[in-house]
Amino acid sequence: MADNSQQGSHPSEDQKKALYEGLSDDQKKKQTYTEWVKDAYNNQYENWMPWIEDKYLAWFGTDNKASYATKDTLGQTKITGISQVDKLQDGVNNLVGDQVGKDGLLAPVGNMVSKEGINRAERGGKDEQGSYGGPASSLTDPVVKNAQGAGQGIAGGAQSAGGAVTDGAKGAGSYIGGIFGGGKKE
């Protein structure tokens, strides 16, 4: 591959096409070039965005994702509209949120919830290495992937059955409409 030092860290369109052309014929049949690029972008986004959010919160405040989410959720519960009460409620919300933040009493809990809860949720259940089960991934990842495949198969079957029922109802409706004069006029 060509050196990216002059162009930045992003591969050029030619480099992406060369990578795609290097795929096996089976892989090319499964995805068009556009679908392949879209998947690659989504994978990179899934890998990097939680890390970027964590770094932003660490550099520019005392929040981790758990404390930020706690404060945000509690901030939506204002019920009085009286400024003094709302200010008191904001103080309590910040106190509670700060306890799971960077220097709070429950900081280890907040950090664990941020990393293993919120970040995994953003990554579709995967950790930073793309595994569902961490150290036990050799056992858990195949189970999760098989369950996902089964779920997609069931959803596809339900869609097919739903389409057949809808088509049958449309056919019955046109038949009944024809009996009562609702059909085509000749």
Q: pLDDT at position 91, please?
A: 92
Q: pLDDT at position 75, please?
A: 87
**For 115-133, what is the mean pLDDT?**
75
pTM above 0.85, yes or no: no
* Residue 9's pLDDT band (cuts 50, 70, 90): low
Buried b (16+ CB within 10 A) or exposed e, 25-44: eeeeeeeeeeebbeeeeeee
* Distance, CA of 145 to CA of 137 (rounded, Å): 11
Q: E strands of 10-155, at which residues? A: none
Contact present, 4 and 10 (Cβ < 8 Å): yes
* Distance, CA of 46 to CA of 106 (rounded, Å): 27
pLDDT above 60 (res 166) = no
* Residue 134's pLDDT band (cuts 50, 70, 90): low
**For 26-32, what is the mean pLDDT?**
83
Closest CA to 111 of 156, 158, 58: 58
Q: What is the mean pLDDT of the chain?
A: 73
